[in-house]
Amino acid sequence: MSLLKRLLNPIYKKTEAKTKSSELPEHSTYYPEQKLPVDEKFTFNFKSNGGKFLYCENWEEIKEAFDNILLENDWYEQDVFCFNEMLSEKFDGFNLNFVKNTNSTFFLTTCESLVAKNGSILLSSNQIKEKKLSEFPFSIVVFATTSQIVETISEGLRIIKNQSLKHIPSNITTIQDFDTEKEKEKDFMSYGSSTKNLYLLLLEDL
């Protein structure tokens, strides 16, 4: 995943200089289209959807990136909608009020998978209970790991099924429209969802 770090350009920290275009191999229409690795494909599609991407190598960088999100949006001393106790414990100390009320400044959550094919976030009742995405705050901060990147929605659904032998989560959906200035076509998994201002905190775990 070191390649992923070089590809990304997190908005909150310096990165290595981009490769000059002259150093890249020329692309010919006579050659078949190269198949991107799943992590690169997710990165490209997620950012094309309007998502804000922050790649981090450890929890210290995650906390630094999270602090910068709060600073950028002036979210200190605000109510944060959060079901996940692990996240509320990890981000304790940022002068936030963790509540279970959708009438909050932003929603802090994990996810089931990151889908490379369309750059979407796969969620289930494990994260959103039985609520509709339209009920959640406009701004969402998602914490995920690189091992959660999958090629397709079907692969993400298969993982959910394998991890939930006794009780398969309900209310499975995706969110992939993070651009408020463009209307995007929605597939059956994201039908009825609404545009969200979404930040992804991605932790390297591979």
In a domain, 117, yes or no: yes
Q: For the ranges 53-62, 73-82, 144-153, 193-202, which has the lowest average pLDDT? A: 193-202
Asked whether the predicted pLDDT for residue 137 surpasses 60, the reply is yes
Give per-residue pLDDT as tens, 22-54: 343 444 444 444 678 999 999 999 999 999 999
Q: Lowest-confidence range among 40-44, 139-143, 179-183?
A: 179-183
**Residue at 10 is within a domain:** no
In the chain, what percentage of residues exceed pLDDT 90? 67
Strand order in the sheet with 120-123: 149-150, 113-115, 120-123, 173-175
Per-position b or e across 164-200, b if 16+ CB within 10 A of its CB: eeeeebeebbbbbbbbeeeeeeeeebbeebebbbbbb
Strands 120-123 and 173-175: antiparallel
Residue 149 lies in a domain: yes
pLDDT at 19: 31
Mean pLDDT score of the chain: 83
Q: Do the domain assignments include residue 47?
A: yes
Residue-range definition of the domain harbouring residue 68: 35-203
One-character DSSP codes across 127-174: HHTT--GGGS-SEEEEEEEGGGEESSHHHHHHHHHHH-SS---S--EE
Per-residue confidence band for 3, with pLDDT thresholds at 50, 70 and 90: very low
- Rounded average pLDDT over 50-73: 96
In a domain, 145, yes or no: yes
Give the H/E segment covering residue 97. Answer: strand 97-99
The H or E element containing residue 73 is: helix 59-73
Residue with tokens 């009742």: 125
What was the pLDDT predicted at 158?
94
Q: Is residue 144 part of a domain?
A: yes
- Count H helices and E strands in the chain, helices first: 6, 10
Given pLDDT bands bounded at 50, 70 and 90, which one contains residue 206? confident
pLDDT band per the 50, 70, 90 thresholds, residue 10: very low
Residue 185 has pLDDT above 60, yes or no: no
- What are the phi and psi torsion angles at 142 (to 5°)? -105, 130
For the chain, the C-alpha Rg in angstroms (whole number) is 18
Q: Is residue 128 part of a domain?
A: yes
Number of folded domains that form the chain: 1
Host H or E run for residue 71: helix 59-73
- What is the three-class DSSP state of 52? strand
Show the tokens assigned to 167. Answer: 């009780």
In a domain, 18, yes or no: no
Lowest mean pLDDT among 68-77, 86-95, 148-157, 182-191: 182-191
pLDDT at 139 over 80: yes
CATH code: domain of residue 164: 3.40.50.10420
